[in-house]
């Protein structure tokens, strides 16, 4: 399995980011396709709209969100596609649009994939 990193869509792509995958259901506002420098967009590994609305990026709900999101990921066939990309590349960067990197579904996803 390759190395999995996370990065904000609003930060510049780095030369060592490897295979860059947007893991949000919605395109990040104000970010052009050129600037995003993505290799793939895997919407289906993002939290469901219902879970995302419930969470609302509230830090107080992060632990409960993480548990619910991991349960979604366990039953999500799109995770296999992401795992295949990770197996095919030495470095994969999960790109997300959230403002706060500490309150991001991408970190939960990265940790889930590491298990």
Given the DSSP bridges, would you call strands 3-8 and 91-96 parallel, antiparallel or unpaired? parallel
pLDDT digit string (tens) for 54-88?
999 899 999 999 999 999 999 999 999 999 999 99
pLDDT digit string (tens) for 90-107?
999 999 998 888 889 999
pLDDT number for residue 66: 97
> What's CA 64's distance to the chain center, in Å?
18
Mean pLDDT of 1-22: 94
Q: Could you list the beta-strand ranges (E) of 13-113.
A: 19-22, 40-41, 91-96
pTM of the complete model = 0.94
Given the DSSP bridges, would you call strands 3-8 and 19-22 parallel, antiparallel or unpaired? unpaired
> What's CA 20's distance to the chain center, in Å?
10
The answer to whether the beta carbons of residues 82 and 45 sit under 8 Å apart is yes
Alpha-carbon span 58 to 50, nearest angstrom: 14
Alpha-carbon span 75 to 98, nearest angstrom: 24
Range of the domain at 64: 3-114
**Beta-ladder partners of 8:** 96
Cβ contacts of 63 within 8 Å, gap of 6 or more: none
Mean pLDDT of 13-40: 96
**Count of domains forming the chain:** 1
């Amino acid at each position: 399995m390759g190395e999995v990193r996370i990065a904000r869509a609003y930060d510049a792509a780095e030369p060592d980011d490897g295979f860059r995958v947007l893991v949000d259901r919605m395109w990040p506002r104000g970010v052009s396709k050129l600037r995003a420098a993505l290799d793939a967009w895997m919407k289906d590994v993002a939290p469901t709209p219902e879970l995302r609305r419930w969470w609302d990026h509230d830090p107080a709900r992060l632990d409960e969100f993480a548990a619910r999101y991991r349960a979604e990921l366990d039953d999500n066939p799109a995770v296999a596609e992401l795992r295949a990309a990770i197996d095919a590349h030495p470095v994969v960067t999960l790109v997300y649009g959230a403002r706060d990197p500490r309150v991001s579904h991408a970190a939960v996803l990265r940790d889930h994939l590491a298990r």
